[in-house]
Amino acid sequence: MAKKKTTVIEMEIPEWANEVTIPVLTDAVHDLITSLPKGYGIKTKSGEIWNGFHAQTLHNKLIQLKGFHDRSIRRTREALQYHLEKGLLGIVLDADGQPLKKIVNGYRVKIYYRI
């Protein structure tokens, strides 16, 4: 069987035809988390939380970024859970070892800190 001969045509692709990558939500959340100082939000010995953050505060900052204005907070929580499993975040625990929860807008939410 004979092989078909193919010719390679070199062409210039116009600049407007190049694809632009859009950042993924987990990447945007990662950038926001890494902008925080290490240890941000760790519970002190007196029991007070020093600047811990919850999903809503991170989500409010995220929707200000270009391309993320219409995202749901559920996706932000999923991204936080992903980074928690990867070891970038930690959850502030109470004396019983349960996640410490704070009441925000009538909801009990977990408090995170950066490792």
Residue 94 lies in a domain: yes
pLDDT tens, residue by residue, 73-114: 999 999 999 999 999 998 887 778 888 888 888 888 888 888
Considering only 13-17, 40-44, 68-72, 75-79, which range has the smallest mean pLDDT? 40-44
Q: Is residue 56 part of a domain?
A: yes
Given this model, what pLDDT does residue 110 score?
87
Q: Is-contact 49 93, C-beta < 8 A? A: no
In single-letter form, the type of residue at position 30 comes to H
pLDDT band with cut points at 50, 70 and 90 for residue 46: low
**Do the domain assignments include residue 42?**
yes
Q: What CA–CA distance (Å, rounded) separates 52 from 91?
A: 9
In a domain, 57, yes or no: yes
Residue 9 within a domain: no
Structural domain count of the chain: 1
Q: Is residue 7 part of a domain?
A: no
Structural domain range at position 37:
24-114
Region 11-32 average pLDDT: 86
Please indicate, yes or no, if residue 76 is contained in any of the structural domains: yes
Of the candidates 115, 109, 110, the one whose C-alpha atom is nearest the C-alpha of residue 89 is 115
Report the distance separating Cα 114 and Cα 38, nearest Å: 6
CATH of the domain at 94: 1.10.10
- pLDDT of 26: 92
β-pair type (89-91, 101-104):
unpaired
